[in-house]
Structure 1
């Protein structure tokens, strides 16, 4: 079994479980899948990738809330666009810090917050648990591949 197939199997199983968990906990299943996507797209693997995914997603939630709050204070519509431009610049510049270097993760967190109408209290746990599920999907798939690919040591040798 290839690594891809092993990860596909565990991803399929855990995606179904995530859907149930999200509904059971009243979370946004789609936002969880965005957290999962962030992990899979992250340039880092393992726990470093999980940390990078969560950190950048959470920074995106923060920046979205900055845009939402500052835009509601602006009396002119054009100021909302200027605020968005400045914050988008800051979302990119923050990537100078290694733990915030995955810019797409920041934009995913921000977009999830906008899509949820600014309900960051619901977006945050959805993104975090989604990223954890992404980590588990890949880690369990790699484990399945390793177990299946191990040579059989109890095999009986063939007789000539």
Structure 2
């Protein structure tokens, strides 16, 4: 079994479990999948990738709330666009900090917040649990692949003798 198939298998199983967990806890399953996607797309693996995914998603939630609140303070629609432009600039510039340097993670968190009409209290746990599920999907897939390869390695070593 290839690494891809092993990760696909564990991702499929855990995606079904995530759907059930999200509904059971009253979370946004789609936002959890965005958190999961953030982890899979992260340039870092393992716990560092998980941390980067969560931190950048949460920064995106913050920036979306800034846009929502500042835009609502003015009745002139153009102000909302100016605020969006300035905040989008800030979302990119924050990547100068190594712990915020995954810009897509920031935009994913922001988009999830907009899609939920600013319900950050629901978006945050959904994104975090989704990222944890993404980490578990990949880690368990790599574990499965390694376990399935062990017998083949022993067999190959025995043939070599």
TM-score (norm 2): 0.94
What is residue 43 of structure 2 aligned with on the other side?
Answer: 43
Deviations 1:91-138 (A, max 9, x none): 000000000000000000000000000000000000000000000000
What are structure 1's unaligned runs of at least 5 residues? none
Are 1:70 and 2:70 an aligned pair? yes
- Counting helix residues as a fraction of each chain, which structure ranks higher? 2
Deviations 1:40-87 (A, max 9, x none): 000000000000000000000000000000000012110000000000
CA distance in 2, matches of 1:64, 1:5: 36
Q: Measured at CA, do residues 154 and 104 of structure 1 come closer, stay the same or move farther in structure 2, by a change above 3 Å?
A: closer
RMSD over aligned CA atoms reads 1.4
Aligned structure 1 segments of 4 or more residues deviating by more than 2 angstroms? 151-155
What is residue 5 of structure 1 aligned with on the other side?
Answer: 5
CA distance in 2, matches of 1:154, 1:22: 43
1:1-160 alignment to 2 at 5 Å?
1-151=1-151, 153=154
Q: What secondary structure sits across from 2:56 in the alignment? A: helix
What are structure 2's unaligned runs of at least 5 residues? none
- What is the number of residues matched between the two proteins? 157
